[in-house]
A and B are shown apart, each in its own frame.
Chain A
Amino acid sequence: MGATSENPHQTGFLTAWVPVVLAAAIFAFFAGMIGDVSAGLAPEWSWAWLPGLDVALAFRVDGLALTFCLLISGIGTLIMLYASSYLNGHPEYGRFALYLFSFMLAMLGVVLADDIIALFVFWELTTITSYLLIGFNNAEAKARRNALQALFLTGAGALALLAGLILLASIAGSTRISEIVQVEGLTEHRWFTGTLILILLGAFTKSAQIPFHFWLPNAMAAPTPVSAFLHSATMVKAGVYLLARFHPAFADTSLWIWSLTLAGAATAVWASILALRQTDLKQALAYTTLMALGTLTLFLGQSDAYAMTGFITFLIVHSLYKAALFMVVGAIDHETGTREVAQLGGLGRLMPVTALAAALAALSMAGLPPLLGFIGKELLYAGALDAISAPVLVTAAALAANALMVAVAGIVALRPFWRGGVEALPKTPHEAPWQMLAGPVILAALGLIFGLAPSLLQDTLVAPTVAGLLGTPDMAKTLTLWHGVNLPLLLSGATLALGAAIYALHGSVRAFLITTLSRLPAFDNGWDVLINGLKRFAAALTAIIQTGDLRDYMRWTFLTLLVALVATGLLRNAFLWHFDLSDMSFAVAAILIITALAAVTATRATSRLMVVIAIGVVGVGVALIFITFGAPDVAITQLLVETLSVILVATVMLKLPRLYEGGTNPFRAGHALIAVALGGTMTLIMMGVVQGPLDLRLTEFFEQSAWVDAYGRNIVNVILVDFRALDTFGEIAVVAIAGIAAYALLRATSYHKKGEEK
């Protein structure tokens, strides 16, 4: 503390305290709603947002939402307090606090939103704020990479989620979640399977279920307060929240039951094994978070009252102990300068308060009585034994994961404090400042208080949430420490014994895991391969399309145009062959043939003069066509413009080199092929166009109004200077601007040349 107080970047009083006070006020606001919600009410607010699309900024507070709100704002308050000390003196603390607070608001939005579009917007806001927080140490390449990885994975999942939500809304005919979950026959709709898969993709990526799990441990590149808040207690639970939100509507389909059971079980067990392997305290905790997310998903796959009660209880337990343990690990890191298990030990005497909080949180994590963790575990076992999918599988997965959890709890929260005989630490530790102690102590104490008096949670949060999950009130099982001697209690005993055994042997277990797992392909490396492959693919594609050669660009442009025109013409059946030259007079035929010949000559001539003459002939030919078919004004303009163009070209060409080097104009067969194909397509299109219907309403309007309304007898002139006068004015402006720009270019050219001569 002494060192930091002299820091020139000392975090200001307001910067440190405003987020804490605001978060506490939000917590108090939601705490005030417990009464209403436990009485079965669900307060709602709604503002019209996009009324045309029936999208509203609608919020609804039911048991599930309130539980999440209290966890988010409560833990948020403690985290803000913790961060103000943990990052005290950081030059960019203000930015950090802004991100963290924005994240909290976005997360509250996710759990409160009752409209799917609002839900999605808040969901993406959590993705973006999480990205900014993971990459907060943006000077480190690793932080940037891991932040991007989280952004890509959860962002891609969110796109799937958006598609799923929109499909769901169109099936149900409503964008309100509270209405959607009550729609009958939702699961029989033919789009249902696809919809559910898309929604599950969104939830599984957000909550890091296998095979999308690897971003979460990497997200630990963030400062510890972020890990404690986002990646343990809140953001990663957004996916679980989403699953819980739609549980009432989907839970009876086999797709739901099996995908959640399998993904949850696999994640829980695999993550527990990986947790045991870690030597870094924070990484070990990160994997236990995966385990918890897997367990929560696993139990959301069931529909039994025990499973649901266990789900919400375990959710609360986990948030309390995991946030506390992360903050403890942060405090250890802050005070000792290391998080390596092998280096830490004997901190119990130096940091007694931290040690006590850690012990309480760890006991809750291990599921020992009389803590809330014990109650949660008992309920989970009861739920597992009644599982509708495969009770043996669910129970075995829960047992394995819980036993490994016991061992990890010991490694993370007991060993660093009570192990003796350690060498010197990077820093001499003492107790962390009170702001960093408040969080772990309060959260760990809550685990004990709720364990001793579970009735505090029973009617306030658990009962309304379970009622919401199951769709019927009064189903929640009673939270109690003593159920009598039954199968769940025996399983708890087995868990403890197994866990203690693993803890005792964990040194050799870890060595075994490290050698075994290093032989397996890692998902994280796969990610790098994928990203690098994508980069190489982009580079290769760029090398083909974007060569830097102007002619390649023209070629790609014309080829794309050709494909687009031909494909559209074929798909819409728009190419209508029409060949009728019977009405052609000799004069017209002569004009057409001369013009066409001149155009071909322009492509084949070798002399510049010849090309200019040929182009001029084409221009005059077109003017003759205009005059033949009743357009004298157009013909005059065409002649004038054509003359001007030729004069301009001739003038400029005096200063330019020859068109073709060496005086030859070799035939380019490939280009000719593209050219003829496009020309032929144009002819076919025109043949179709002139056979289609012609809407003459506008022409008739102009014919009738030209004299009567505008007092002009030349209809074309009237259209230009009267009906479309503004358009003509715009046209004049364009020509004027082109003239000014051309003049500026010429001036710059002569100036540049003078400069060169010097």
Chain B
Amino acid sequence: METGLALLIGVLVAAAVYLMLARNVMSFLFGLLLISNAANLAIFTSGRLTEGAPPLVPEGADAPVGIVANALPQALVLTAIVIGFGLFAFSLMLVFRAYAGLGTLNGDEMRVAEPKEDKA
């Protein structure tokens, strides 16, 4: 089971990196979304996988009964998802703003801070 997840994480990272290397900064953002998902899955998988047993304490018991999924990575991933969304939303607005200001989404042409040196 973990092997399958490890393979999926690899595919997601590869796709994300490929997109982040694209010329268009919008593609970069898609890559960011994918790599966040990959990271969340990695945290989740590190805590091992337990199928169909959410970490709940049944009525009348003081602790979970039987084997349940690892609660700790779930809590961490929850935080990570929300933070990742904050990052994505902000980056998206930044790209939008950059396009409004520069008129391009091409990363090669976004060179206000480091203008191309004259080769004359």
* Interface: A644 (CB within 8 A): yes
Q: With A and B bound together, what is the CA distance between A653 and B24 in angstroms?
A: 13
Q: With A and B bound together, what is the CA distance between A554 and B55 in angstroms?
A: 39
User: Given A592-B8, A671-B18 in contact, is the A548-B114 Cβ separation under 8 Å?
Assistant: yes
Asked whether, in the complex, the Cβ of B88 is within 8 Å of the Cβ of A645, the reply is: yes
In chain B, what residue has the closest Cβ to A736? Answer: B86
Q: With A and B bound together, what is the CA distance between A657 and B1 in angstroms?
A: 42
Contact of B90 among A595, A690, A704, A742 (CB under 8 A): A742
Asked whether, in the complex, the Cβ of A707 is within 8 Å of the Cβ of B61, the reply is: yes
Interface pick from A304-312, A412-420, A622-630: A622-630
Considering the complex, which residues of chain B in the window 83-120 have a beta carbon less than 8 Å from any beta carbon of chain A?
83-90, 92-97, 99-101, 105, 107-108, 110-111, 113-116
Can you offer 27 A-B residue contacts whose CB atoms are under 8 A? Answer: A549-B111, A550-B110, A551-B21, A589-B4, A592-B4, A618-B37, A629-B44, A629-B69, A634-B74, A678-B17, A679-B11, A686-B2, A686-B42, A686-B45, A687-B3, A694-B48, A699-B70, A703-B57, A708-B63, A715-B64, A716-B71, A716-B75, A720-B75, A731-B79, A739-B86, A742-B92, A742-B93
Q: With A and B bound together, what is the CA distance between A649 and B88 in angstroms?
A: 10
Q: With A and B bound together, what is the CA distance between A584 and B94 in angstroms?
A: 42
In chain A, what residue has the closest Cβ to B14? Answer: A679
Contact of A703 among B2, B34, B55, B100 (CB under 8 A): B55
In chain B, what residue has the closest Cβ to A612? Answer: B30
* Interface: A734 (CB within 8 A): yes
Interface, chain B (partner A; CB < 8 A): 1-30, 33-34, 37-38, 40-42, 44-59, 61-64, 68-72, 74-75, 77-79, 81-90, 92-97, 99-101, 105, 107-108, 110-111, 113-116
Q: With A and B bound together, what is the CA distance between A170 and B116 in angstroms?
A: 52
In chain A, what residue has the closest Cβ to B64? Answer: A703
Asked whether, in the complex, the Cβ of A674 is within 8 Å of the Cβ of B21, the reply is: yes
Contact of A629 among B29, B50, B84, B93 (CB under 8 A): B50
Asked whether, in the complex, the Cβ of A660 is within 8 Å of the Cβ of B24, the reply is: yes
Contact of B59 among A599, A696, A713, A734 (CB under 8 A): A713
Q: How far is the CB of B91 from chain A (nearest CB, A)?
A: 9
- Residues of A within 8 Å of B110, CB to CB, are 550
- Residues of A within 8 Å of B1, CB to CB, are 583-584, 588
Considering the complex, which residues of chain A in the window 361-400 have a beta carbon less than 8 Å from any beta carbon of chain B?
none
In chain B, what residue has the closest Cβ to A616? Answer: B33
Contact of B15 among A599, A619, A652, A703 (CB under 8 A): A599
Q: With A and B bound together, what is the CA distance between A546 and B114 in angstroms?
A: 9
Q: With A and B bound together, what is the CA distance between A549 and B10 in angstroms?
A: 27
- Residues of B within 8 Å of A694, CB to CB, are 47-48
Q: Given contacts A631-B74, A675-B15, could you give 6 more A-B pairs where the C-beta distance is less than 8 Å?
A: A548-B111, A618-B12, A657-B105, A683-B10, A699-B47, A738-B90
Asked whether, in the complex, the Cβ of A645 is within 8 Å of the Cβ of B7, the reply is: no
Q: With A and B bound together, what is the CA distance between A11 and B66 in angstroms?
A: 87
Contact of A752 among B13, B20, B21, B101 (CB under 8 A): B101
Asked whether, in the complex, the Cβ of B68 is within 8 Å of the Cβ of A630, the reply is: yes
Asked whether, in the complex, the Cβ of A735 is within 8 Å of the Cβ of B10, the reply is: no
Contact of B79 among A671, A706, A728 (CB under 8 A): A728
Interface pick from A23-31, A42-50, A211-219, A743-751: A743-751
Asked whether, in the complex, the Cβ of B90 is within 8 Å of the Cβ of A741, the reply is: yes
User: Given A611-B30, A671-B21 in contact, is the A549-B82 Cβ separation under 8 Å?
Assistant: no
Q: With A and B bound together, what is the CA distance between A575 and B74 in angstroms?
A: 25
In chain B, what residue has the closest Cβ to A688? Answer: B6
Interface centre among B26, B42, B52, B74 (most CB of A within 10 A): B74
Asked whether, in the complex, the Cβ of B86 is within 8 Å of the Cβ of A678, the reply is: no
Q: How far is the CB of B6 from chain A (nearest CB, A)?
A: 4
User: Given A648-B92, A745-B96, A753-B100 in contact, is the A551-B83 Cβ separation under 8 Å?
Assistant: no
- Residues of A within 8 Å of B9, CB to CB, are 682-683, 686
Q: How far is the CB of B36 from chain A (nearest CB, A)?
A: 9
Contact with B along A684-704 (1 / 0, CB 8 A): 001101100010101100111
Q: How far is the CB of A274 from chain B (nearest CB, A)?
A: 43
* Interface: A641 (CB within 8 A): yes
In chain B, what residue has the closest Cβ to A587? Answer: B51
User: Given A548-B111, A645-B33 in contact, is the A713-B56 Cβ separation under 8 Å?
Assistant: yes
Considering the complex, which residues of chain A in the window 582-623 have a beta carbon less than 8 Å from any beta carbon of chain B?
583-585, 588-589, 592, 595-596, 599-600, 602-603, 608, 611, 615, 618-619, 622
Q: How far is the CB of A565 from chain B (nearest CB, A)?
A: 11
Asked whether, in the complex, the Cβ of A735 is within 8 Å of the Cβ of B2, the reply is: no
Interface, chain A (partner B; CB < 8 A): 546, 548-551, 554-555, 558, 578-581, 583-585, 588-589, 592, 595-596, 599-600, 602-603, 608, 611, 615, 618-619, 622, 625-626, 628-634, 637-638, 641, 644-645, 648-649, 652-653, 655-657, 659-660, 668, 671-672, 674-676, 678-680, 682-683, 686-687, 689-690, 694, 696, 698-699, 702-704, 706-708, 712-716, 719-720, 724, 727-728, 731, 734-735, 737-739, 741-742, 745-746, 748-749, 752-753
- Residues of B within 8 Å of A603, CB to CB, are 15, 18-19
In chain A, what residue has the closest Cβ to B97? Answer: A745
Asked whether, in the complex, the Cβ of B72 is within 8 Å of the Cβ of A699, the reply is: yes
Asked whether, in the complex, the Cβ of A602 is within 8 Å of the Cβ of B105, the reply is: no
In chain A, what residue has the closest Cβ to B54? Answer: A630
User: Given A675-B15, A679-B10, A716-B74 in contact, is the A708-B62 Cβ separation under 8 Å?
Assistant: yes
Asked whether, in the complex, the Cβ of B71 is within 8 Å of the Cβ of A683, the reply is: no
Asked whether, in the complex, the Cβ of B77 is within 8 Å of the Cβ of A631, the reply is: yes
Q: How far is the CB of A693 from chain B (nearest CB, A)?
A: 11
- Residues of B within 8 Å of A600, CB to CB, are 11, 15
Contact of A690 among B18, B21, B48 (CB under 8 A): B48
Contact of B97 among A675, A731, A748 (CB under 8 A): A748
- Residues of B within 8 Å of A555, CB to CB, are 21
Q: How far is the CB of A318 from chain B (nearest CB, A)?
A: 53
In chain B, what residue has the closest Cβ to A719? Answer: B75
Asked whether, in the complex, the Cβ of A668 is within 8 Å of the Cβ of B57, the reply is: no
Asked whether, in the complex, the Cβ of A628 is within 8 Å of the Cβ of B52, the reply is: yes
Q: With A and B bound together, what is the CA distance between A488 and B78 in angstroms?
A: 88
Q: With A and B bound together, what is the CA distance between A72 and B105 in angstroms?
A: 66
- The 3 A-B pairs at the shortest CB distance, nearest first, are namely A679-B14, A630-B69, A683-B10
Asked whether, in the complex, the Cβ of A550 is within 8 Å of the Cβ of B107, the reply is: yes
In chain B, what residue has the closest Cβ to A562? Answer: B17
User: Given A579-B3, A656-B26, A703-B64 in contact, is the A549-B107 Cβ separation under 8 Å?
Assistant: yes
- Residues of A within 8 Å of B38, CB to CB, are 682
User: Given A659-B24, A674-B21, A735-B83 in contact, is the A703-B71 Cβ separation under 8 Å?
Assistant: yes
Q: With A and B bound together, what is the CA distance between A555 and B85 in angstroms?
A: 24
Asked whether, in the complex, the Cβ of B44 is within 8 Å of the Cβ of A626, the reply is: yes
Q: With A and B bound together, what is the CA distance between A674 and B30 in angstroms?
A: 17
User: Given A630-B50, A645-B33, A671-B21 in contact, is the A690-B2 Cβ separation under 8 Å?
Assistant: yes
Q: How far is the CB of B116 from chain A (nearest CB, A)?
A: 7
Q: With A and B bound together, what is the CA distance between A292 and B8 in angstroms?
A: 74
